[in-house]
């Protein structure tokens, strides 16, 4: 059986899925047709139900619950992994308080968890410009935007370009909730047979475990999609976003996700959740 699978070309995703799609583990008769896209493109595809299995932002998942349920393996949660709000070094930070509605904020997508966190921390920053996540730094350098919301590997590169941090939104979340920040998860079509969903969950967990046991095995695959990123930066990225929650959400991971959705519903950021979030009978 062949299933369509979408994930980003970022090192954490290629690290997680290398063993699965390259048959370094037994895929138990399943084949995967892979689609590489940035996170907001994956979010949009999820809204349309285009893929059998996909990575998406937890913020976006709230709008795709009618089509997908969350797998226990493959998620990106953690501490110290949140998005950063940055700016150019000569920006007057006081403008955020005095004149927020006239500031242009570059964001990596409306339905990213990063934008969700920005809305909690700075609800008055409403003049947002959606951009490809990898172009936000340059937008700041060109003074096309006043503030930039960065994710992924850009958190390791912005300071080298003379840009400065306004706030770490992951740190803001952690201090507010004491929970890990849920960034992205792996979801699967609800209408697939339960046995297939359970198998996919099991295989992704095995793929993550293989990657942990053989961290350099995926190096060529990671480099192929990492846009000339330095190897040290790639593995910093991986170490930040791939952890115990990627193997299994566990009670802590589920509590963090539930907290995210509870806050989002209370603030009217997402619609009321009426479906079961998690894959049932996952084993």
Q: Which fold has domain 2-78+181-266?
A: D-Maltodextrin-Binding Protein; domain 2 (3.40.190)
Tokens describing residue 110:
């409306």
pLDDT band of residue 282 (cuts 50, 70, 90) is: low
Domain ranges of the chain: 2-78+181-266, 84-177
Residue whose structure tokens are 């709230």: 62
Residues 6+ apart with CB under 8 A from 230: none
23 is catalytic: no
The chain-wide mean pLDDT, for the chain, equals 92
Q: Is the pLDDT of residue 106 over 90?
A: yes
Q: Are 75 and 54 in contact (CB under 8 A)?
A: no
How wide is the angle at C-alpha 122 spanned by C-alphas 115 and 86, nearest 5°? 70
Q: Are 44 and 61 in contact (CB under 8 A)?
A: no
Least confident range from 87-101, 118-132, 269-283: namely 269-283
Do 84-177 and 2-78+181-266 fall under one CATH topology? yes
Phi, psi of 51 (to 5 degrees): -115, 150
pLDDT digits (tens, 9 = 90+) for 227-276: 767 888 888 889 888 999 999 999 999 999 999 999 989 988 888 998 99
What pLDDT score does 280 carry? 74
pLDDT band of residue 206 (cuts 50, 70, 90) is: very high
Binding-site positions? 55-57, 113-114
Per annotation, catalytic residue among 22, 23, 88, 152: 152
pLDDT digits (tens, 9 = 90+) for 222-234: 999 987 678 888 8
- Rounded Cα–Cα distance for residues 30 and 37 (Å): 22
Question: What dihedral angle (degrees, nearest 10) is formed by the CA atoms of 172, 278, 208, 134?
Answer: -50
User: Which DSSP string corresponds to the chain?
Assistant: -EEEEEE-SSHHHHHHHHHHHTTSS--TT-EEEEEE--HHHHHHHHHTT--SEEEEEHHHHTTSTTTEEE-SSS-EEESS---EEEEETT--TTHHHH-GGG--EEES-TTSHHHHHHHHH-TT---EEE--GGGHHHHHHTTS-SEEEE-GGGGGTTGGGTEEEEEEHHHHHHHHHSSPEEEEEEEEETTS-HHHHHHHHHHHHHHHHHHHHSTTTTHHHHHHHTTT--HHHHHHHHHHH-SHHHH--HHHHHHHHHHHHHHHHHTTSSPPP-S--BPSS--
Binding-site positions for substrate? 55-57, 113-114
Task: Indicate if the alpha-carbon torsion angle 193, 197, 202, 203 is positive or negative.
Answer: positive
Q: Say what the pTM is.
A: 0.86
pLDDT band of residue 281 (cuts 50, 70, 90) is: low
Select from 26, 52, 42 the least CA-distant residue to 189: 52
Residue whose structure tokens are 């990492």: 226
Q: 84-177 falls under which CATH superfamily?
A: Periplasmic binding protein-like II (3.40.190.10)
């Amino acid at each position: 059986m062949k299933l369509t699978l979408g994930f980003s070309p970022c090192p954490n995703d290629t690290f997680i899925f290398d063993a699965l799609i390259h048959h370094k583990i037994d895929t138990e008769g399943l084949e995967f047709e892979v689609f590489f896209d940035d996170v907001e493109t994956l979010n949009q595809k999820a809204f349309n139900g285009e893929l059998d299995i996909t990575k998406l932002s937890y913020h976006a998942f709230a709008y795709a619950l009618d089509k997908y349920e969350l797998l226990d393996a493959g998620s990106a949660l953690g501490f110290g992994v949140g998005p950063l709000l940055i700016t150019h070094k000569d920006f007057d930070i006081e403008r955020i308080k005095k004149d927020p509605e006239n500031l242009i904020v570059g964001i990596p997508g409306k339905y990213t968890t990063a934008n969700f966190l920005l809305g909690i921390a700075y609800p008055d920053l409403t003049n947002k410009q959606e951009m490809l996540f990898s172009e936000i730094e340059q937008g700041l350098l060109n003074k096309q935007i006043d503030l930039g919301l960065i994710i992924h590997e850009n958190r390791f590169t912005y300071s080298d370009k003379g840009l400065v941090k306004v706030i770490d939104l992951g740190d803001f979340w952690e201090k507010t909730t004491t929970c890990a920040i849920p960034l992205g998860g792996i979801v699967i079509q609800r209408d697939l047979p339960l046995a297939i969903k359970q198998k996919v969950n099991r295989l992704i967990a095995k793929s993550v475990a293989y990657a942990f046991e053989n961290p350099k095995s995926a190096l060529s695959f990671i480099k192929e999609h990492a846009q000339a990123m330095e190897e040290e930066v790639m593995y910093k990225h991986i170490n930040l976003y791939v952890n115990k929650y990627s193997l299994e959400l566990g009670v802590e991971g589920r509590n963090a996700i539930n907290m995210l959705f509870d806050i989002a519903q209370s603030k009217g950021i997402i619609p009321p959740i009426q479906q079961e979030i998690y894959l049932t009978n996952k084993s």
